[in-house]
Amino acid sequence: MLDRGDNLRADPAAIAALAADPAARLLRLDGIDPVLDETGHLVWGGMAEAADGADLILLGLADGRPHFAQHVPGALDAATRSAWIFKAIGMMAPGEAALYGGARSLIDWHERHGFCARCGQPTLVQRAGWGRRCPACEAEHFPRVDPVVIMLAEHEDRVLVGRQPRFPPRRYSALAGFVEPGEALEEAVARELWEEAGIRVRDVRYVASQPWPFPSSLMVACVATAEDDALTIDHTELEDAMWVPRAGVAASMAGAPDAPFLPPPDYAIANTLFRAWLGA
With a pLDDT cut of 90, the percent of the chain lying above it is 92
- Asked if the model's pLDDT at residue 178 lies above 90, the reply is yes
pLDDT band at residue 101 under the 50/70/90 scheme: very high
Task: With beta carbons less than 8 A apart as the criterion, state whether 182 and 173 touch.
Answer: no
Which of 2, 69, 68 has the alpha carbon at shortest distance from 32?
69
| Rounded-to-5 percentages of helix, strand, coil across the chain | 25, 30, 40
pLDDT band, residue 108 (cuts 50/70/90): very high
Whether the predicted pLDDT of 78 surpasses 60: no
Q: How far is it, in rounded angstroms, from Cα 167 to Cα 239? A: 10
For residues 45-52, give the mean pLDDT: 97
Q: What is the DSSP string of 174-230?
A: -EEEEPPTT--HHHHHHHHHHHHH---EEEEEEEEEEEETTTTEEEEEEEEEES---
Query: Tens digits of per-residue pLDDT, 229-254?
Result: 999 999 999 999 999 999 999 999 99
- pLDDT band at residue 80, thresholds of 50, 70 and 90? low
| Number of other residues whose CB lies within 10 A of the CB of residue 36 | 17
Q: Considering just the CA atoms, what is the radius of gyration of the chain in Å?
A: 21
What is the maximum alpha-carbon separation in the chain?
A: 63
**Cα gap 264→277, rounded to integer Å:** 14
Query: Structure pTM?
Result: 0.93
Identify residue 242 by its one-letter amino acid code.
M
- State the pLDDT confidence band at 74, using cuts at 50, 70 and 90: confident
Contact 100, 108 (CB under 8 A): no
Instruction: Please provide the DSSP assignment of 120-137 as one string.
Output: --B-EEEGGGTEEE-TTT
pLDDT 10s digits, 122-146: 999 999 999 999 999 999 999 999 9
Gap between the terminal Cα atoms of the chain: 30
Q: Outline where the chain has alpha helix (H).
A: 12-20, 85-91, 94-112, 185-197, 246-253, 269-279
> Which has more pLDDT, 78 or 91?
91
pLDDT digits (tens, 9 = 90+) for 199-213: 999 999 999 999 999
Residue 79 has pLDDT above 60, yes or no: no
60 DSSP assignment: E
Q: What domains, with CATH codes, occur in the chain?
A: 6-116 (no CATH), 146-279 (3.90.79.10)
At residue 1 the predicted structure's pLDDT band, cuts being 50, 70 and 90, is confident
